[in-house]
Amino acid sequence: MADVITYREAVAEGIAREMRRDPAVVCLGEDIGAAGGVFKTTAGLFKEFGPERVWDTPISEQAIVGAAMGAAMTGMRPVAEIMFSDFLACCWDYLANEIPKVRYMTGGQVTVPLVVRTANGGGLGFGAQHSQATENWALTVPGLKIAAPATPADVIGMMAAAIRSDDPVVFFEHKGLLASKGAPVPPDHVVELGRAAVVREGADVTLVALAAMVPLALRAAALLAAEGIEAEVVDLRCLVPLDMSTVLASLARTSRLVTVEENPYQGGWGATLVSVVADEGFGLLDAPVRRVAGECVPLPFADVLEERVIPTVDKVVAAVRDLTAY
């Protein structure tokens, strides 16, 4: 085993482990076969498992996710790739109307154990139609589980949990993290969905973050520590199920809350999170809550413009300073 693994390699490794374990796991998507995916997140799968397990599709997002659904209903565990998360809109019917509703409206007769993987998020200058953080779209749909790992180890562990899940999971792989590195994990590493992680302890403020916002929050926490402010950083890892108990327990220690969200402020997951805090944890707070989130604009192209509208370390540091002075 190499001593480091990239996030990108972890995606392929996570899928490969499940494909070795369970012959019902099959992959489909555009360019995922011999080409190894446009982000090389499926590299090696075609070679190891062949064309009967790793299927190249036409550019047909509805067919990809719709066929994955039909296969999942009839005994397979498909892992479908939608190249960029922006393209989820092309198959939104399946994510909003078909996959999440069929179990319910059939009175529990049908199970849809599939994973829709997709490259999410900005920071790379891909422009408005290839850069959005869209996990909040899925958050509005009852019946979808939402995973968004921040580290290679979590990619592998959460991929295992997602593929083994009897429920549909939308799995957001952050483009800005693909090259990031981490330690490899032992065989059968599984990270249960709906378990947040406290990735840095601190007594002064709780930063709750997801995916690429986790390392960003950690960088902000390091800067704040130099000023004597100790931030606790919670990596949510999943939006559904949402681990509110870890968030509330952290708030009981820190009494201050900042969410760090890449999605636009309006309709972002932080809004749900702080509403639960207001409802159930109001007494834990010694200050208002702050949400550092994306602006409500399409993502612009130029770096200076993109940085203006998505969270940065400086914006997080400023929000925390403001709160601790409250």
How many whole angstroms separate alpha carbon 207 and alpha carbon 215? 11
- Smallest separation, CB 76 to other proteins (Å): 5
Q: Which two tokens stand for residue 166?
A: 């009897």
From candidates 60, 140, 266, 275, binder to other proteins by CB under 8 A: 60
Q: Give the interface segment with other proteins, choosing from 106-114, 169-177, 220-228, 314-322 (CB under 8 A).
A: 106-114
Q: Is 61 a catalytic residue?
A: yes
| Beta bridge partner(s), residue 303 | none
How many whole angstroms separate alpha carbon 14 and alpha carbon 157? 7
How many whole angstroms separate alpha carbon 292 and alpha carbon 310? 9
How many whole angstroms separate alpha carbon 94 and alpha carbon 113? 14
Residue 227 touching other proteins (CB under 8 A): no
Question: Which of 74/283 has CB closer to other proteins?
Answer: 74
- Contact positions with other proteins (CB under 8 A) in 9-38: 26
Q: Give the interface segment with other proteins, choosing from 35-43, 49-57, 171-179, 296-304 (CB under 8 A).
A: 49-57
Binding mask 63-102 for other proteins (x = CB under 8 A): x-xxxxxxxxxxxx-x--------------xx--xx-x-x
Q: Is 174 a catalytic residue?
A: no
- Contact positions with other proteins (CB under 8 A) in 124-143: 142-143
Question: Which of 109/179 has CB closer to other proteins?
Answer: 109
Q: Give the interface segment with other proteins, choosing from 53-61, 178-186, 209-217, 288-296 (CB under 8 A).
A: 53-61
Q: Give the interface segment with other proteins, choosing from 35-43, 127-135, 161-169, 228-236 (CB under 8 A).
A: 161-169
Q: Is the dihedral of CA 84, 85, 87, 88 positive or negative?
A: positive
Which 3 state secondary structure label does DSSP give 36?
A: coil
- Smallest separation, CB 110 to other proteins (Å): 5
Q: Which two tokens stand for residue 237?
A: 């890892």
Burial class (CB in 10 A: 0-12, 13-18, 19+), 146: buried
Question: Which of 60/266 has CB closer to other proteins?
Answer: 60
State the residue for tokens 């203006």.
308
Residue 177 touching other proteins (CB under 8 A): no
How many whole angstroms separate alpha carbon 123 and alpha carbon 41? 19
Residue 174 host element (H or E): strand 169-174
Question: Which of 60/129 has CB closer to other proteins?
Answer: 60
From candidates 243, 261, 262, 306, binder to other proteins by CB under 8 A: 243
The DSSP result for 108-165, as a single string, is T------EEEEEE--SS---TTS----HHHHHTSTT-EEE---SHHHHHHHHHHHHH-
How many whole angstroms separate alpha carbon 273 and alpha carbon 126? 29
Catalytic residues, which ones?
61, 130
Interacting residues with other proteins (CB under 8 A): 26, 52, 55, 57-58, 60-63, 65-76, 78, 93-94, 97-98, 100, 102-111, 113, 142-143, 165-167, 194-195, 240-245, 276
